[in-house]
Structure 1
Amino acid sequence: MKRAIFIAAALVALIPSTSILARAHHVSASMTDTQKIEAWGVKWKRQLEAGDIEPLRDMYEPDAILMSNGSPPQVGVDAILAFLTRNKTAGNAVTIDFANEEIVIDKDRAYLTAKYWMTITIPSGSVIDVMGRSFLVYKKGADDSWRLWRDIDNQAPDILTEGRPAPAS
């Protein structure tokens, strides 16, 4: 009898954590598509700056294409991840900031235009600043997740260092 009471008490103790999980899922499910795209960008930035590129794999469509200014197209997730890994391999530190200009959601496609500022600090201490504009196309999967399908980056004369967003505190 004591064992049955103990098991029942243990099951009751699990109920709050189950409701917490349900609330967490509800919060995620209640995010707008625009908020999901914005959260995608925050996660991508965090992974890139940490040099932890492999987790980005699930954030891309398998047939994604990265068209970065001055580089040939990187076709497919493996090529994109290899391209993004170059700085870590070289020992460079990277910081990147974005300022979204427009996000358009059209059914299972999303289109994002953003300004970007990237700083690459090489091991010798030299700093390379690259800034420009990105045009991103996302596809929404059956799992309700947005994945990047096309990424076009170019350097733009109207994007200046002075316009870079201040670091988040």
Structure 2
Amino acid sequence: MRQIRLCAAVLAAYLPLFALAAPATAGRPQPQIEAAIKAENARWAQAYARGDYEAVGHLYTKDGSLLPPGGDRITGASAIAAYLTKASAGSKPDTVSFSNYEFYGSDQVVAEVSDAEIHDQSGKLKYRGKQTLIFLKQGGAWKLHRDIWNDSAP
């Protein structure tokens, strides 16, 4: 009887910890949200492939930011468009593709971890990296809020 009370007391003491841990591990968004985020990635890739960096900038929240490796934060649609325009100066638009998706979040905020590749017009690989994107749902639409990436090893 004493062991049962002891076990019950231990369980009662740890139960709140399990309740707090559940939301942190149960954060996978619903499949339709994942599909919507992938559709936003496709819109980004299509605008980038057209060289329409202004359209890319408008896929971000009002205070959306790029967090490039080794560089300063770039915030806002016009600053994002200017950054991408400068980065691609003198070359034809490249194509980008995303893969190996992981999603975490809710129906209002989603973090995506994925891989990215950029190819030139001939299909030659120019860049391979990893990224973490944070999307916010605003006015019924998903918008990029933070965009951070780094290179993969050669």
Q: Same fold (TM over 0.5)?
A: yes
Matched, 1:137 2:134: yes
| Gap change, CA 1:35 and 1:65, over 3 Å in 2 | same
SS at match of 2:94: strand
Superposition pairs of residues 50-65 of structure 1, within 5 angstroms: 50-65=50-65
| Gap change, CA 1:71 and 1:119, over 3 Å in 2 | farther
How far the C-alpha of 1:71 sits from its partner, in A, is 2.6
Check whether the contact 2:33–2:107 (CA below 8 A) recurs between aligned residues.
no
- Which ranges of 4 or more aligned residues in structure 1 deviate by more than 4 Å? none
Distance between the aligned counterparts of 1:44 and 1:108, measured in 2? 20
| Gap change, CA 1:40 and 1:84, over 3 Å in 2 | same
How far the C-alpha of 1:68 sits from its partner, in A, is 1.5
Aligned CA RMSD, in angstroms, stands at 2.3
How far the C-alpha of 1:120 sits from its partner, in A, is 4.4
Percent of paired sites with the same residue: 24
Report the AA paired with residue 86 of structure 2.
R
Deviations 1:82-141, CA, capped at 9 Å, x for gaps:
1112255423331211104201232310110010111346xxx9x672211000001001
SS at match of 1:93: coil
How far the C-alpha of 1:80 sits from its partner, in A, is 0.8
Report the AA paired with residue 33 of structure 1.
I
Check whether the contact 1:34–1:105 (CA below 8 A) recurs between aligned residues.
no
Match of residue 110 from structure 2: 110
Match of residue 150 from structure 2: 154
Distance between the aligned counterparts of 2:70 and 2:95, measured in 1? 19
**Which 10-residue stretch deviates more, 97-106 or 132-141?**
97-106
Match of residue 14 from structure 1: none
Report the AA paired with residue 147 of structure 1.
K
5+ residue gaps in structure 2? 1-30
5+ residue gaps in structure 1? 1-30, 161-169
> Normalising by the residue count of structure 2, what TM-score does the alignment of the two structures yield?
0.70
| Gap change, CA 1:90 and 1:148, over 3 Å in 2 | same
Match of residue 9 from structure 1: none
> Normalising by the residue count of structure 1, what TM-score does the alignment of the two structures yield?
0.64
